[in-house]
Amino acid sequence: MRMAWAGALALSVIVTGCDKKDADVKLAPAASSLAASTPPPTSHAVKFTIAPKGLASIDMPAPNEHIKATADVAAGTLDVDLMKLSNSRGEVKMDLATLTTKTFDDEKKNASQTGHARTWLEVADGEDGKLSDEVKAQNKWAVFAIRGVEKPSAEDVTKVEPTKEGGDDVRTVTLTVKGELLIHGHKVERSADMTVAFHWPTGADPAKDKPTSVSVKSKTPLRVILAEHDVKPRDGFGKIAKQSFKLLGTKVADTADITLELTARPGS
């Protein structure tokens, strides 16, 4: 199940405080990738692949502006033990190069803010310079590696009473996922509360048949502290550009609250 874009999403993204605020926040350990999460051996595990069309919604209340954004390309896999959900593991990824701000009713203002956000995350070229393809590739994905699942409302999802949704029997659980979140080359430990709905065709035997899909939604937002991930104003070359703060004035925030909506299906 997921997290946590994540980042990201993750996906955290846009604008961040600096100077005194950043001095109070410790930069998270550097990392270029996260180790894969290996689930315990089980005969009840099903591997799901996350569909490319996903949604990370980012909410950033700032002093003079309520910044909103989305990222809409996902990837990753979930190894789900249907009869003991706490054994489940996985990896969820959100593409930060698709991050788009939706703060204003003015498309030009949104486009400008989107450009700054992507430049600060070092996933796109800026107006005043170009990043290397290597740097953009390193920062492209917000990754959440699921290291554990806690407090599932039911350990054995096959025994959950289904609800009807179209032609499906849907069995829904809530749970908390714990793991590591990697954004902009820095990793932190995070947890997230999720609602997970397993879909079977009506009348299917959940103890014998695989779910046809899994829907994953955030129950509560995942909070990302941007300074921990060194997300700051940068020019197109990736250099710190504190003068860029004048573009937003006091319209800055220290954190990004991220909610996810993902779908996954069995198979590679």
Poorest-confidence range of 146-150, 206-210, 227-231, 240-244?
240-244
Distance CA 250, CA 246 (A): 8
Q: What is the mean pLDDT of residues 204-218?
A: 97
Residue 33 has pLDDT above 50, yes or no: yes
Query: What is the predicted pLDDT for the residue at 240?
Result: 57
Count CB neighbours of 98 within 10 A. 17
Q: How far apart are CA 46 and CA 210, in angstroms?
A: 7
pLDDT digit string (tens) for 45-62?
Answer: 899 999 999 999 999 877
pLDDT average, residue stretch 107-116: 91
Task: Identify the pLDDT of residue 247.
Answer: 40
Task: Kindly state the average pLDDT of the residues 104-128.
Answer: 88
Lowest-confidence range among 78-92, 155-169, 229-243? 229-243
pLDDT of residue 38: 87
Q: Which residues of 37-57 are buried (b: 16+ CB within 10 A; e: fewer)?
A: bebeeeeebbebebeeebbbb
Closest CA to 181 of 220, 146, 138: 146
Cβ proximity of 228 and 16 under 8 Å: no
- Residue 75 pLDDT > 90, yes or no? yes
Q: What does the domain layout of the chain look like in residue ranges? A: 7-150+175-192+212-266
CATH class of the 7-150+175-192+212-266 domain in this structure: mainly beta
Average pLDDT of the chain, as a whole number: 85
Longest dimension (CA), the chain: 62
Tokens of 4: 């946590």
Share of the chain above pLDDT 70, in %: 82
**pLDDT tens digits for 242-264?**
554 444 334 456 888 999 999 99
Res. 36: pLDDT tops 50: yes
Query: Is the per-residue pLDDT at 92 higher than 60?
Result: yes
